[in-house]
Structure 1
Amino acid sequence: MAFAGKWETESQEGYDAFCKLLGIPDDIIEKGRDYKLVTEVTQSGNDFTWTQLYPANAKVTNKFTINKECDMETIGGKKFKATVSMEGDKLSVTFPNYHHTCEVSGGKLIEVSKAGSVGLTRTSRKI
């Protein structure tokens, strides 16, 4: 149940380079750079609901069960099938253009997204 709760972005590393690699327009990158993304997670055993609240009231909610294929959606509205796995204490999933892991370490939610050699690390604190 370590993931459960409400989290707010504290810091990001590699944000600009990662967003550019994914083809996100410069004006959207600018708006999101200092935005305090809020992530809400509910967990019941292996079942998760993961919601991220973006600028301009945009919201993406994905529901998944560990090791079961599910329907997911990106912030850009792209829908895809994926299987979220648990590797040790980390959640791991492959999105269409990148690989994403999440873990709780030192009371912080650490999310790492990688596309080739370009990565984004987002650290969030519980609120």
Structure 2
Amino acid sequence: MAFTGKYEVESEENYDEFMKKIGLPSDIIEKGRNFKIVTEVVQNGEEFTWSQLYPGGQSMTNTFVIGKESNMETMGGKKFKATVQLEGGKVVADFPNYHHTAEIAGGKLVEISTTAGVTFKRISKRVA
């Protein structure tokens, strides 16, 4: 159950509908639709540094310890506090307007976010 690695987006499901539901403006949704986002995870026991690197040099990083309240940031840049859990090999977090899980399945990073009946799924292949 080691998450450490670098992963590049391979496929996404329900991107547009989910991003609209969480309130991202249409220009941002349009810009991000075909991004090859790279997710870099460093896991040291129960401590994680989870970064998303976007084309053009922008990035977002969340650092957290399983079971401890941490300062986090949403896809839309909103800051909040959350306690990330580990449930059955999945990293689980409740963001202000969506529920997020991440797991390693078949050597790939599988992330699922759900809000208001819409489920966004992102599968990323390991590149390092």
TM-score range, shorter chain: over 0.9
Residue type of the partner of 2:7?
W
Alignment of 1:64-75 (within 5 A): 64-75=64-75
Percent identity (aligned): 58
Residue type of the partner of 1:120?
F
Please report how far the alpha carbon of residue 48 of structure 1 lies from its aligned counterpart in structure 2 after TM superposition.
Answer: 0.4
How far, CA to CA, are the matches of 1:23 and 1:9 in structure 2? 22
Query: Which stretch shifts more, 18-27 or 107-116?
Result: 18-27
Point out where structure 1 has 5 or more consecutive residues left out of the alignment. none
Residue type of the partner of 2:30?
E
Alignment of 1:12-91 (within 5 A): 12-91=12-91
Off by >3 Å, runs of 4+ in structure 1: none
Q: In the alignment, is the contact (CA less than 8 A) between 1:32 and 1:55 conserved in 2?
A: no
Q: Normalization by structure 2: what TM-score?
A: 0.94
How far, CA to CA, are the matches of 1:75 and 1:57 in structure 2? 16
Please report how far the alpha carbon of residue 119 of structure 1 lies from its aligned counterpart in structure 2 after TM superposition.
Answer: 1.0
C-alpha RMSD of the superposition: 1.1
Q: In the alignment, is the contact (CA less than 8 A) between 1:40 and 1:52 conserved in 2?
A: yes
**Alpha carbons of structure 1 residues 22 and 55: separation in structure 2 relative to 1, 3 Å:** farther
Please report how far the alpha carbon of residue 74 of structure 1 lies from its aligned counterpart in structure 2 after TM superposition.
Answer: 1.8
Name the SS of the counterpart of 1:23 in structure 2: coil
In the comparison of the two structures, how many residue pairs are matched? 127
Please report how far the alpha carbon of residue 54 of structure 1 lies from its aligned counterpart in structure 2 after TM superposition.
Answer: 2.1
Cα deviations across residues 62-100 of structure 1 (Å, max 9, x unaligned)?
110100111111233211110000001100000010000
Residue type of the partner of 1:76?
G
Q: Normalization by structure 1: what TM-score?
A: 0.95
How far, CA to CA, are the matches of 1:15 and 1:72 in structure 2? 21
How far, CA to CA, are the matches of 1:60 and 1:4 in structure 2? 17
